[in-house]
Chain A
């Protein structure tokens, strides 16, 4: 029970008044971000990241990860009350959550959503607590070929698990890699894709891309859809909470299934959004009340919420142990690690014990605090959504601009943010996935250097990627993922 001791140590790190305060601030900001259109986990964390440059890494990651949990909770509020998903992963929550609210059971739907999120996250944190040290330990033996193989698997998983067109996934991903390559090549010292301008020497920062793609892009989409927030009023009082809690254990199987799907999709970078859809779909197929799904079944709220929160939480596992984030928000947190001077990867677990275990302990505490906060403050958030969009939209744009500027104190970044915003709008309308683009932009340099080092080891022969059992099986799995959409099509045709 080595992990248990480490976890207790983590609690001693996380349980200071200062860190608890950061936790609370993070959760409240996170719920706000989750509720507001245009601000989400990924770009919300990206905007606040520069404010944490001077904080201690442990306090900073506690606050930022709590923003992430808060955003995961907050997405459900808009879905249930307004039928507008505040976050992509809460789209599936609208299917049954909003009908429940229309039937006057908004309090129950919200309690069910929050409690399911909490359950999913808690199980995922337990999984993370005991699995992460093992993965990290195992990964200590990795060389460059193994790291490249794992990254290959990450990117191929997007093609295999994604719901859209594989060609578009690959194109978006390659755009991310290309943008990552812009600037100074650290190995040879040559300038790549700068075309003689000095402004591009720095390359493209993924934080700017995240703020633009997710923030401005989302606002433009919201404007086009011409949202009018016509919501259902909601109050949650203790009797509703207790009544719902008595009913929830009936759906333990759905919750457990959702959590497992979520953990799997979070660790392999499927992400929270597909996990929530998958869990909803499977619950609908296997439930006795499956035919009634969509008319306001509590089970239909439990399924996507457990999966989304479990996926969001377990996305931190590969980020901490391998340095490969499982979701865009985890990618932004990874960027934070690099900025605070911590090298993500297996060594983190041996060299930065305080940081890692402080973070993991804060995940337990953060979710408890989060559940308490959202259960008590729902009317407040619903009121915020009644503020007209023509007030909220420009304020969000200004916040995004400030966030983009403070990353490097560069004015060009504000303009770039706008360009990425238009790009995000186009991509979303044409179903180009944004997550692979962002992850490729973050991991581009790491993937390239792992690839180059492998090539140096093998003198330019690709055979190094099947030179031993481990690397060969990871690469094989990656290729299987890449070919998956084609295989599915082939099987369908044969039938």
Chain B
């Protein structure tokens, strides 16, 4: 459903129009969910005042109405069709940032924040930045150690810890 056409930067691209439509439809969907849930818990007037869904109901209605306006505008707009939202070329650096970050967040669940941060920093600098190991190592190890001292020692705020910290006795 994504029409791809040749972009000036080279490679396939997605037009702004397609993205506008996708986001507006997503907004309408969220609006429908809000309205549905508000109807479920009651959006009218009971003896003791407005029901729980009264306010969110209208929030959902306004969201749907505004997004339909955006949708119609996007479909009819002549400029949005030709403007490029993103090309594969420009998407690459975004994904190069996003995917490791997602891996880092996932890593926090299993390895704890400190270990995951060290791996993330190291991988990012080594692969993304092409730095030598002797530049990578101090940063990748230094930042988590500093964070550890700052939070666990000085501010006494525990951050998520994993198997490595358990091994070290924390």
Contact = CB atoms under 8 A, between A and B. Distances in A.
B124 A193 contact: no
Interface in A242-292: none
A414 B108 contact: yes
B120 A394 contact: yes
B22 to A, nearest CB: 9
B125 to A, nearest CB: 6
What band does the interface of chain A fall in when counting residues whose beta carbon is under 8 Å from B?
35 or more
Contacts of A191: 41
Interface string B94-137: 10111011101100110001000100110011001101000000
A353 interface: no
A493 interface: no
B139 interface: yes
Contacts of A388: 129
Nearest to A176: B59
Interface in A165-183: 165-168, 170-171, 174-175, 177-178, 181
Interface string B140-151: 000100010001
B164 interface: no
B66 A220 contact: no
Contacts of B104: 394, 397-398, 401
Interface string B146-163: 010001000101111000
A257 B124 CA distance: 47
A193 B73 contact: no
A219 B100 CA distance: 13
A398 B128 contact: no
A13 B19 CA distance: 53
Given A388-B129, A448-B55, A455 B60 contact: no
Contacts of B128: 390
B98 A190 contact: no
B62 A170 contact: yes
Contacts of B93: 223-224, 226
A211 B127 CA distance: 26
A51 interface: yes
What band does the interface of chain B fall in when counting residues whose beta carbon is under 8 Å from A?
35 or more
A220 B94 contact: yes
A411 to B, nearest CB: 6
Contact of B19 (A195, A390, A426): A426
A466 B18 CA distance: 43
Contacts of B20: 430
A429 B49 CA distance: 42
A402 B70 contact: no
Q: Tell me what chain B mostly uses at the interface: helix, strand, loop, or mixed.
A: helix
Contact of A452 (B33, B50, B105): B50
Interface string A401-418: 110011001010011011
A178 B36 CA distance: 12
Contacts, number: 167
Contacts of B131: 390-391
Contact of B160 (A167, A411, A425, A432): A411
A190 to B, nearest CB: 4
A472 B41 CA distance: 32
Given A168-B70, A422-B98, A452-B50, A174 B19 contact: no
Contact of A430 (B16, B54, B109): B16
Given A192-B53, A418-B105, A451-B55, A171 B67 contact: yes
Given A171-B63, A402-B147, A430-B16, A220 B129 contact: no
A372 interface: no
Contacts of A170: 62-63, 65-66
A174 B108 contact: no
Nearest to B70: A167
B33 to A, nearest CB: 7
Contact of B98 (A168, A220, A398, A452): A220
B125 A391 contact: yes
B72 to A, nearest CB: 9
Interface in B81-102: 85-86, 90-91, 93-94, 96-98, 100-102
Contacts of B91: 224
26 contacts: A51-B155, A170-B65, A171-B66, A174-B66, A178-B30, A178-B31, A178-B56, A178-B63, A193-B37, A195-B37, A224-B86, A224-B93, A388-B129, A390-B125, A390-B131, A391-B129, A394-B121, A395-B143, A398-B120, A398-B147, A405-B159, A406-B159, A429-B85, A430-B16, A430-B23, A456-B49
Given A390-B124, A452-B49, 12 more contacts: A166-B66, A171-B63, A171-B67, A178-B56, A193-B37, A220-B98, A390-B125, A395-B139, A397-B120, A425-B94, A429-B85, A430-B85
Interface of A: 50-51, 165-168, 170-171, 174-175, 177-178, 181, 185, 187-188, 190-193, 195, 216, 219-220, 223-224, 226, 388, 390-391, 393-395, 397-398, 401-402, 405-406, 409, 411, 414-415, 417-418, 421-422, 425-426, 429-430, 432, 448, 451-452, 455-456, 460
Interface of B: 16, 19-20, 23-24, 27, 30-31, 33-34, 37-38, 41, 45, 49-56, 59-60, 62-63, 65-67, 69-70, 73, 85-86, 90-91, 93-94, 96-98, 100-102, 104-105, 108-109, 113, 117, 120-121, 124-125, 128-129, 131, 139, 143, 147, 151, 155, 157-160
